[in-house]
Every structure is written in C-alpha cells, then in structure tokens.
Amino acid sequence: MKKTLLRGLLNVLPLVLSIWLFWSLFESLDKVGNFLFGLFHIGELFKGAGFLLILTLLFVAGLLFSVSPIAWLYDFIIRQLMRFPFFKTVYSSINDIASLISSDNKNKGQQTVLVRQANDSYVIGFIMSDDMPAPLTAALPDGDWVPVLFPLSYQIAGVTTLVKREDLTVVDWSFEEAMKYNLTAGISTPKNNNDKAQKETDDTADKPV
C-alpha cells in the first residue's frame, strides 16, 4: 500500500504543481490587466480579460519593436538608464537570463562538454560563449580559454569555470536535454534512451532460450 501511495504521489505531484504554477501566473497577469482596465474606469469584463489584455499589449509591443524608430528610442532610453550603476546591474542580469532562454540564442555558442577531473571522473558542463572578456584574456596564460558552466543539481545556481578548449570533450547532445539531465542529477533520462533500452530488453526477452 505504501508503494502504491508513493507511486500515485510521484505521478500526480508534478501535474498538480505545474497546473498551480501556470494558474498562479494567469491570476497574477489577470490582476495586472484588470488594474490597467481600472485606470480607464472599466470594470472586470470577465475572468481572464486582464490576462488577454496583457497578451495583447505584449503582442503590440513586439510589433512596435520591429519598427526602427521605436527600437532606436528604446535603446536610447536604456542607454541613459544604464548610467545608473544599480539599474545597470539589475537590468544586465535580467537581460542576460532572458537572452539565455530566448529561442533566438539557442545553439549559439552553447555546447555540451565533459571536463575530466583529477580522479579520472568527468563533470558535465556547458560552453556558454566563445567570447572571452579582454581583462580575463590578458590575465590568463596563453591558450584557447572558454567559460564553462557547471550547473548544480536541483538549483538554479551554478559555477562558471574557465577551461582550455583542448581539455574539453565535446558531446553531441542538445543543450536543453543535457541541462535537464544535469539539473536533475541524472534522474531525468532522455526519452529516446529509455525507448532504446526498452527495445533491447524486449528483443532479449523474445529470443528463444
């Protein structure tokens, strides 16, 4: 009975948490949209009207940023705000994270690699960029150095280490799948690997004894 309850919990919990997360996001955006309606003395039209308003505004913003004068004006405002150190630090961090998850930057300098340790073990890492800041390049010994990220399991944090490219073993594995595998400490295995293992098991079972 204990195993049955645990199996039910492990199957239902991810679904419940995912629904709760998306519902919380929906509620928050809906409240923001209704607040904007309230500025124009418009009451709540229906549940989700505020959410649709936010999506519409984001879509319109995307269209506007494709127009050169609007994009130039936005860049000009950002450059002025970047003169303030605190704003520059916060904005740069958020902008870098947004750029990381943006589909436009996928597979752009992000490569899954293995780094050999002193005890002949390997650590999974990710080359995040092929460009090195000039101060680091000047301080490091000669060589082709690249920043490699080592994510920590079940955390958003990670450690960025500078490694020579010649010391890296390149892995033909997508950034998304490798990151998921790393963040879950190897528990999350790509589906194609599971299917292959299951097929091999089935083929073995079908062989005559």
Which pLDDT tens digit goes with each residue over 46-58?
A: 888 889 999 999 8
DSSP state of 118: T
Nearest alpha-carbon partner for 68 in 79, 78, 76: 76
Contact status, residue 115 vs residue 167, Cβ threshold 8 Å: yes
Apex 98 CA angle, 110 and 17, nearest 5: 100
Highest-pLDDT range among 50-54, 88-92, 95-99, 168-172:
50-54
Place of tokens 């990220």: 149
Listed residue (109, 145, 143) closest to 126, CA to CA: 109
Q: Which of 59, 52, 53, 60 is nearest to 36 (CA)?
A: 53
How much of the chain exceeds pLDDT 70, in percent? 81
pLDDT at res. 205: 44
Question: pLDDT tens across 124-161, in order?
Answer: 888 877 777 788 888 888 888 888 888 877 766 778 88
